[in-house]
Amino acid sequence: MGDEPIVIPVPGTAELHLLTRSGAVEVRAEERADVVIESGAPSEHRIESDATGRIKLPSAKGGSAKLVLRCPMGSDVVVGTISGDVDLHGQLGAVRVTTVSGSIRVERAEALDARSVAGHIEIDHCSGQCRLQTKSGRAVCNGAGSAQVSTISGQIKLGETAGTVRAQSASGAVEVDMRSAGDVKVRTMSGPVRVAVPRDVRPSTSLHSLSGRPRSECEEGNDCEIRVQSLSGRIEVLPS
């Protein structure tokens, strides 16, 4: 395969299915009406595409080549890799990423499911449901419609959440910054929990710790429900 980019016209948006083993994946969503595979493409007979804009390809060199693509804004992206890092830029549609040890970075998505065993996950903004899972990596989302996040030892940091939040970690610290009233449920074993609540929101809180000290400084009300369970972690619910 040469270094010439491969251009595939698509109707509106694309649906990319990308597979690598160790190769990194970089996708850039921008104003355009085609998909450009800039590097890492396999031989052309291994690229599947149809009239709906669905494009499937593995990366070259048995999955070790770095895949670099450009696609229309709002495109859906599915990535499967073992150790490749995944970097998605621009406004995307539904994004699903699984990796064992690679890290995942997503700038903007409408909906997201990102899973890594050991890699970090960093999301700038997801307007819909944001589901993140990593064992030892850090899971960070700076803004989400709703979020469901789990780690074992990795830190969870959720900023500017607008809807419901479910966060769970064994020993990782959990920080949730609510942007508006939405139900929050957090469970940890030893990880400390801090929930920041907007000053105009009066939550109903239910905080349980076997040996930690739950502390809420918010005025109780019925705007939303905050439930936190921890075996030994410190629990704080504070006005932001």
The whole-angstrom separation of Cα 35 and Cα 9 is 6
Put residue 63 in one of left, alpha, beta given phi > 0 → left and psi -120 to 50 → alpha.
left
Taking the complex as a whole, how short is the minimal distance between the CB of residue 17 and another protein, in angstroms? Answer: 7
Q: Which residues, in sequence order, are bridge partners of residue 228?
A: 186, 207
**Binding of another protein at residue 103 (CB under 8 A)?**
no
User: For another protein, which is the closer residue by CB, 61 or 96?
Assistant: 96
Among 40, 80, 137, 203, binds another protein (CB under 8 A): 80
Among 28, 131, 138, 194, binds another protein (CB under 8 A): 131
The whole-angstrom separation of Cα 79 and Cα 92 is 13
Among 127, 164, 190, 204, binds another protein (CB under 8 A): 190
**Binding of another protein at residue 168 (CB under 8 A)?**
yes
Among 105, 108, 115, 138, binds another protein (CB under 8 A): 115
Taking the complex as a whole, how short is the minimal distance between the CB of residue 8 and another protein, in angstroms? Answer: 19
Q: Report the candidate in 78, 87, 74 with the shortest Cα–Cα distance to residue 19.
A: 78
Q: Any idea how long the chain is? A: 240
CB 83 within 8 Å of CB 99: yes
The whole-angstrom separation of Cα 104 and Cα 119 is 7
Tokens representing 82? 């073992």
Task: List contacts with another protein (CB under 8 A).
Answer: 17, 19-21, 63, 78-82, 96, 98, 100, 113, 115, 117, 131, 133, 148, 150, 152-153, 168, 170-171, 187, 189-190, 208, 210, 229, 231-232
